[in-house]
Structure 1
Amino acid sequence: MAPYTTLSDADLTVLLKQQDQRAYTVIYERYWALLFRHAGRMLKDDEQAADVIQDLFTVMWTNAETLEINTSLASYLYTSLRNRILKLIRREKVQINYLVTLPDFEKEGHNITDEILREKELQIQIEREIEMLPPKMREIFELSRNAHMSYKQIAEEINIAEGTVKKQVYNALKILRTRLGMTFFMGIMKLILFFFK
């Protein structure tokens, strides 16, 4: 058998599902630094970034046998990381908003709560619509927007033409704009710029 470091992500994923410790180690070493940089940009806190990634890999190893990876390994890892970070940001944002707005609550009352609820509803709606995109289009869109991969990198990662990647991202944005309406679409663009800058 070829050395584990030369195996493709797909081969490593098969071995991981068989609870192969060496395959897990190679995946960890192959992606840890990339995920750390990505998480660091989003969280602006290296300690939090390391904790989120450690949790991601721990859960991945614990659930190795039942792991469902329907996209590329890179897309799976970036999407899982993004979801964990968004949960963390939302949780912290709610806590901060609560502490900051508590003294003013009597003055402003339900307006603050309404704004937080609208923002949460928008985030949920956007996530739901992204999940409803066709699988290949969703994978390409998430690699582009969430993993910050260039069209060329995505094309190489999933072995398709760069022009196809560009067209899929364009089509995904067009579908989201149609489904969400202009107000929601502007919201998704703001969230993308805020969370993934």
Structure 2
Amino acid sequence: MANCEFTALTDQELVGLVQLEDNKAAFSELYNRYWEPLINLAGKRTLSLSMAEEIVQDVFVDFYLRRKEIQLKHSLVAYLKTAIKFQVFKTYRAQKIQDKYIETVSHLGQASPIQPDSMLEAKQIHAEIVQITEKMPPTCKQVFLLSRFEKRSNQDIAEQLNISVAMVRKHITKSMNMMRAEINEHQMDIFYLMLLLYSHKN
């Protein structure tokens, strides 16, 4: 099925393709269809765009990882809105725990980090992605970070680095190949998903 045909499908049909066929194009359509209203919803509760974007990403990562077991009692929209509310609560709870921990260890003269308990595996892979970027050539690394972490368009990156858009695409392709070569095979589903979520605006 061509990608353009997915826009004509209902949420229920797209969810079916994701659950039964692991169809990533169907998942991408769902994400593109709802990421903006969900960020607006999360943003009203957090008053932070960066936090809202991370919450929406976590919700979609969780949905994809649990796609086989999720049973929608109502609509997909209702499920996603409920998931956003729950993730907002988890984010604030994790932040409070981290703040309390930092406050405690500061009195003890320690500086050990703490890991939130939500989306741990995805965040570990995120850290691995950052480590792999350190092995990239300077321009390739700069393009990758601007594209995937700052969500800059190819045109913006080309103008900032004074290179062509074609060269930007070449560096992105090279960086993706490096990532795929080093990410463990059993983590590829999450790796693909994180790259999809980072690059959806380009």
* TM class, shorter-length: 0.3 to 0.5
Greater helix percent: which structure? 1
> Highest relative contact order (Cα 8 Å, sep 6+), 1 or 2?
1
Q: TM-score normalized by structure 1?
A: 0.46
State the TM-score, normalizing by the size of structure 2. Answer: 0.44
